[in-house]
């Protein structure tokens, strides 16, 4: 569990990220201006900050510069629609630890957060998930089934990761959509069903059970 400060002025994105982080066991706090971001970042102990660049009162880069200038070492992940190379370079030179462009997938943001938190604490989580004879290595981005390495496309990998974080638990299409495809995906799309089909072919059809009208469940009794 980490205390994470979300600096974001778009309510939809702020709530999407905040809900996702809470579901992942973190303690998120949302602020929507640069001034509040600085107040929080410099006075409260956050483990990590997610920082938007286009804020109503100041630029996120200025927030970062003042934070670093005041000696704050809190890891910062910049999350912004401004995806140009120049901005990336400016962000990283300005003391950001990572950079993500909107639109983004929640699983990817979560993976980057985990990586930053792990770099900070070097704690016990080795980045490997195991469920029965399925093994997923988050750093190497590899999956093996009963010791055999299986090639997965990036969305298949993220979908399997979502399942492996919640074995034997039913995950709805909406949950899977927001975790793997992002907040701006059409909720009526059948992309989840299509990818569950791909995944079944690669890891074994019996492992992912359809729960009628609800979603899917990764079974540990395949
Ligand atoms: Ca903004």
pLDDT digits (tens, 9 = 90+) for 45-64: 888 999 999 999 998 999 99
Its sign, for the CA torsion 43, 47, 51, 56, is negative
Dist. CA 35 → ligand 1 center (Å) = 14
Hey, which of 96-100, 102-106, 127-131, 215-219 has the most confident mean pLDDT? 215-219
Q: What is the pLDDT of residues 116-167, one digit of tens each?
A: 887 554 434 567 888 889 999 988 889 999 999 999 998 999 999 989 988 8
Query: In the beta sheet, which residues pair with residue 216?
Result: 171, 210
**Predicted model pTM:** 0.58
Dist. CA 82 → ligand 1 center (Å) = 10
Specify the pLDDT at position 125.
52
User: Any idea of the CA torsion for 157, 14, 124, 44, to the nearest 10 degrees?
Assistant: 170
Dist. CA 216 → ligand 1 center (Å) = 34
* Nearest residue to 14 via CA among 58, 59, 51, 67: 51
Dist. CA 180 → ligand 1 center (Å) = 22
For 43-123, where are the E strands, in sequence order? 48-51, 76-80, 98-101
Dist. CA 59 → ligand 1 center (Å) = 9
Cβ-contact 143, 133 below 8 angstroms? no
């Amino acid at each position: 569990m980490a205390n994470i400060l979300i600096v974001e002025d778009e309510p939809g994105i702020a709530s999407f990220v905040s809900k996702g982080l809470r579901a992942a066991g973190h303690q998120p706090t949302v602020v929507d201006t640069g001034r509040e971001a600085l107040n929080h970042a410099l006075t409260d102990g956050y483990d990590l900050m997610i920082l938007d660049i286009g804020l109503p009162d100041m630029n996120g880069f200025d927030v970062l510069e003042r934070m670093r200038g005041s000696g704050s070492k809190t890891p910062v992940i910049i999350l912004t629609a401004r995806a140009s190379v120049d901005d990336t370079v400016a962000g990283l030179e300005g003391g950001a630890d990572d950079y993500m462009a909107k639109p983004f997938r929640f699983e990817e943001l979560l993976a980057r957060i985990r990586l930053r938190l792990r770099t900070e604490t070097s704690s016990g989580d080795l980045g490997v998930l195991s469920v029965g004879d399925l093994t997923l290595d988050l750093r190497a981005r590899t999956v093996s089934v009963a010791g055999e390495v299986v090639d997965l496309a990036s969305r298949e990998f993220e979908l399997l990761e979502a399942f492996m974080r919640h074995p034997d638990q039913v995950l709805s299409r909406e949950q899977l959509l927001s975790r793997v495809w992002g907040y701006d995906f059409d909720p009526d799309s059948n992309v989840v069903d299509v990818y569950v089909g791909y995944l079944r072919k690669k890891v074994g059809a019996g492992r992912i059970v359809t729960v009628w009208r609800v979603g899917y469940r990764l079974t540990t009794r395949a």
